[in-house]
Amino acid sequence: MRILFLGDVVGRTGRDTVAAALPDLRARLRIDLAVINAENASHGFGLAPDMARTLFAAGADVLTLGNHSWDRKEIVPYLAETPRLLRPLNYPPGTPGAGSVVVTLADGRRALVLSAMGRLFMDPLDCPFRSTAVELAKYRLGASVAAIVADFHAEATSEKMAFGHSFDGQVSLVVGSHTHCPSADHQILPGGTAFQSDAGMCGDYDSVIGMRKEGAATRFWRKMPGDRLQPAEGPSTICGTFVETDDATGLATRIEPIRQGGRLSQTLPSV
C-alpha cells in the first residue's frame, strides 16, 4: 500500500496549496491512502467544516486534528457525524468524535488510521500509550487490516520516539505532527514500522511555525500576550511522508520525506 501523510495544514496558504496539489501528488505517487493533519487549517486555529469538505474533495481519505481540535466550535457536530475526521483518541470518554477509523479503499483493502496526542509539554490527557495499545489490540496488522497509520501529535521528540518504538512491528507508520518542523529521522524501525518524529507543516516557512513572524517574535521579547497571532500567507511548502508497505505483513518497505513548493529544500520520491 502506498501511503501519503501530510503534516499540519496552516491557514489559507496551506489549505489552498494542499487542495490544489493533492490530486496531482496522489496520481504521481500512486497513493492508496492519504491522511492529512488539518488542526491549523482555519487561520492557524482549528478546522471549519467547509475546509474539511474541501480537503476531502481534493483527495484526503482521513483528516486528523490535535490540541487545536476544538478551536472552531462548528467542528463539534461535524466531528460527530464524520467518521473520517479524527480527534486524538486519548481525550476523556464521552468526547465527541472518534480517535480512529477503518477505511476501506477503492480496491477493498482496509486500513486503520488513528490519532493520539502526547502529554509532555501538552495538555494532560489520558495516557496515549495505553489508549493506543487498547485500540491496536482490536486489530491484526496484515490480517484484519492491511495497514495501520498512527498520527502522534506531540511536542517532544523523546515522547515521539518512545511511542514509535513502543508500537514497532504493530503499526505500518508512526508519524509525528504538531511541531510544524520536518525532522530528518525518517526510518524503518527494526520491527518494520516506518517512523518520522514530525512530518512538518503545510504552510509558509517564512514564519514562526506558520504564524506571522513579527507578532510571534514580539511575544518572546515582551513576555506579554500580544495581538492574536495571524497566519503567514506567503508561498506554502507541502511537507509530508511517503510510505510503502507490504500488504502481506502490513509492515513498511520504504519511507521518504516530501517537501514541495515554498522555501524548504525540495524532495519528492520517485515511484
Give me Rg for the CA atoms of the chain.
Answer: 17
Residue 42 is a binding residue for Fe ion (CB under 5 A): no
CA distance 244 to 266: 20
Residue 179 is a binding residue for Fe ion (CB under 5 A): no
Specify the stretch interacting with Fe ion by CB under 5 A; choose among 98-106, 117-125, 158-166, 173-181.
173-181
* In the complex, least distance from residue 169 CB atom to Fe ion, rounded to whole angstroms: 27
Residue 87 is a binding residue for Fe ion (CB under 5 A): no
Element of type H or E holding 107: none
68 carries an active-site annotation: yes
Strand 2-6 with 33-37, pairing: parallel
Catalytic residue, chosen from 68, 153, 178, 180, is 68
Sheet holding 110-117, edge to edge: 100-104, 110-117, 147-153, 173-177, 194-196, 187-188
Question: C-alpha distances in angstroms, 188 versus 147, 193, 201, 254, 258?
Answer: 15, 6, 21, 7, 16
Q: Which of 22, 32, 33, 40 binds Fe ion (CB under 5 A)?
A: 40
Specify the stretch interacting with Fe ion by CB under 5 A; choose among 39-47, 90-98, 117-125, 228-236.
39-47
Specify the stretch interacting with Fe ion by CB under 5 A; choose among 46-54, 116-124, 168-176, 177-185.
177-185
Q: Which of 13, 67, 90, 236 binds Fe ion (CB under 5 A)?
A: 67
Hey, how many other C-beta atoms are within 10 angstroms of the C-beta on 66?
25
Residues that bind Fe ion (CB under 5 A): 8, 39-40, 66-67, 178
- Please list the active-site residues: 68
